[in-house]
Structure 1
Amino acid sequence: MKLKKGIKDLVAEAEAVITTISMDEAIKRHVNDDDNTVFVDIRDVRELERDGMVPGAVHVPRGMVEFWFDPESPYHKEYLTDENKTYVLYCAAAWRSALSCKTLDDMGFPNAVHFAEGFNGWKQAGGPIAQRPPRKK
């Protein structure tokens, strides 16, 4: 089956309009403990449990990004709409985060970016990694 647009097309379209910060910039923001930056991990919870995450990052599952960021959604999370903060989204390889940033841009959310290479690149660059806190049962 031939799709009208494949994932590579969708990611390329997203990357053409969103802001991508370099891995060096992402690590610098984290190491400097930039109070105006919130790291947002959009990977599946199993990925977090298996691979760890950026220390201090908040977890927003990819399927809930639109709902948790939208102030009019019944699922809205107040901590995701501080206009003075930059939200740095990431996933494993920067594809899902590119699509999520594009969606937030389409929604009119002004301060979402993602970093090149995703969490896989973060690990390769020697970025700090924390274990995900255990799920509450």
Structure 2
Amino acid sequence: MAQTISVGIKQLIEEGRKEIQEVTADEAMELAKRDDVVIVDIRDVRELWREGRIPGTFHVPRGMLEFWIDPASPYHKPKFAEDKTFIFHCASGMRSVLATQVAARMGLKPVYNLKGGFGGWKEAGGPVEAVEKK
């Protein structure tokens, strides 16, 4: 029997945007100058190798996000326990809407989505650095 998908990705993203706050690339560039801001890149590592990254970002594979945020998880990363502002991004700002939504629902705050994602950052003239394969 074929699956019937009742809620598509567009709807999930629309609903997610209603629950989160977003920043533009220009706003993110200003915020990135602060010591209390962490830009979180949730793209696949192959995207980083191919496209580069925003300098100083903290890379989190999307599939591990909830596990890295939760202090009760054996995979918890101390970065998420710091008193910081977190800006999540992906390639175009859609996956990161969902990541920002779940991070906020888990209690991480303040959290923002980078509108337009990495593509919007590059389009706005934001700095990019190469990422070498490990």
Provide the TM-score with structure 2 as the length reference: 0.93
How far residue 109 of structure 1 moved from its aligned partner, in angstroms, is 1.9
CA distance in 1, matches of 2:81, 2:97: 19
Structure 1 counterpart of 2:95:
96
How far residue 22 of structure 1 moved from its aligned partner, in angstroms, is 1.5
State the secondary structure of the residue aligned to 1:12: helix
Structure 2 counterpart of 1:105:
104
Structure 1 counterpart of 2:46:
46
How far residue 2 of structure 1 moved from its aligned partner, in angstroms, is 4.9
**Which amino acid in the other structure matches residue 115 of structure 2?**
A
Tell me the alpha carbon deviations over residues 9-47 of structure 1, each in whole angstroms, 9 at most, x when there is no partner: 0001110010101121011122xx200100110000000
State the secondary structure of the residue aligned to 2:19: coil
How far residue 107 of structure 1 moved from its aligned partner, in angstroms, is 1.4
Tell me the alpha carbon deviations over residues 96-130 of structure 1, each in whole angstroms, 9 at most, x when there is no partner: 11001111122122222111100011111110001
How far residue 59 of structure 1 moved from its aligned partner, in angstroms, is 0.5
The gaps in structure 1 that reach 5 residues or longer are none
The gaps in structure 2 that reach 5 residues or longer are none
Matches within 5 A, 1:1-137: 2-30=4-32, 33-82=33-82, 84-135=83-134
Percent of aligned pairs with the same residue?
44
